[in-house]
Amino acid sequence: MDNNEYYSKLSAMLTNHTSIWQASVVESDGSTPAKSGMKLAVPLTEAVFGNLGGGEMEHMVISFIRESQPNGAKIYSFDLAPDGSAADFSTSMICGGKVSVFIEALHLSQRLYIIGAGHCGRALGQLAKLSGFHVSLIDNRDEIIQADLTTFSHNSILHDYTDLTEVIGFSPSTYVVIMTHGHLHDKEVLEQCLRQSSAYLGMIGSKTKVAQTFAKLKDKGFTEAELSKCHAPIGIPIGSQTPYEVAVSIMAELIMTRSGRSTF
């Protein structure tokens, strides 16, 4: 892949709000297939592109990025020998060289998955788009998803809620809001999300409805600690009534989480 193709593909992924990291060889010494200037782009789930020389070191870089999802930028040292104890990473390779790799987060997409594309879900999606989130609306009603939802989301997904790992990219930077129509599927959806990685998990509903849902999940073996991950009732208590008022209260909580604040 030449530079034009590499940077064109990288630009397209950034335009599409794809979470992506770049690993660049900044220094190499001794016998090593990795040479200064080599670059590798590592999306969270899509295929990597570029080149760090291949082999175990390249595989370690990919695994490290996808497992730890590092923020910011840092240089990491690799010793291409079995006894490279002084390096950040040592390999079982026998080349014997040393490599410094600069790993930087080019874009950490704050992906918001709204499960339920009713009036409140669409209102929240619209505000979230304006606030910089990449929004996916998920609903099990074909007539809802077939409508034009571009004002309210970046993409819309028809799904029956049975296995949400098929459509949600759970990660430490994933935001999930549960607001299915009539709350019929909220327990089923929450059950799937509680033990997944996320930055934020919230469920709409009254205190009574939330308590009933939590009680049923406790009966199924979920602990208090697991249930405490879920913001429910969702949102900041501002006396909201209309869909957009509800959306404002939820957005305030999402933004608080994104900014690292626990109180307002």
For the stretch 139-195, pLDDT in tens is 999 999 999 999 999 889 999 999 999 999 888 889 999 999 877 789 999 999 999
Q: Which domains does the chain have, with CATH numbers?
A: 3-107 (no CATH), 111-259 (3.40.50.720)
Distances (CA, A) of 127 to 83, 180, 195, 235, 254: 53, 18, 27, 14, 11
Q: Give exposure, 131-165, as e/b (b: 16+ Cβ within 10 Å).
A: eebbbbbbbbeeebbeeebeebbbebbeeebeebe
CA dist 181 and 179 (Å) reads 7
DSSP 136: E
pLDDT tens column, 58-112? 998 999 888 877 878 999 988 866 665 556 666 655 555 788 999 999 987 788 9
pLDDT at 231: 95
Evaluate if pTM is beyond 0.85: no
Q: How confident is the model at residue 263 (pLDDT cuts 50, 70, 90)?
A: low
Predicted confidence (pLDDT) at residue 248 exceeds the cutoff of 80? yes
- 157's tokens: 């997904």
The answer on pLDDT for 260 being more than 90 is no
**From CA 213, how far away is CA 208, in angstroms rounded?**
9
Phi, psi of 212 (to 5 degrees): -65, -40
pLDDT tens, residue by residue, 210-224: 999 999 999 999 999
The span from the CA of 44 to the CA of 235, in Å, is 29
The average pLDDT across 241-259 equals 94
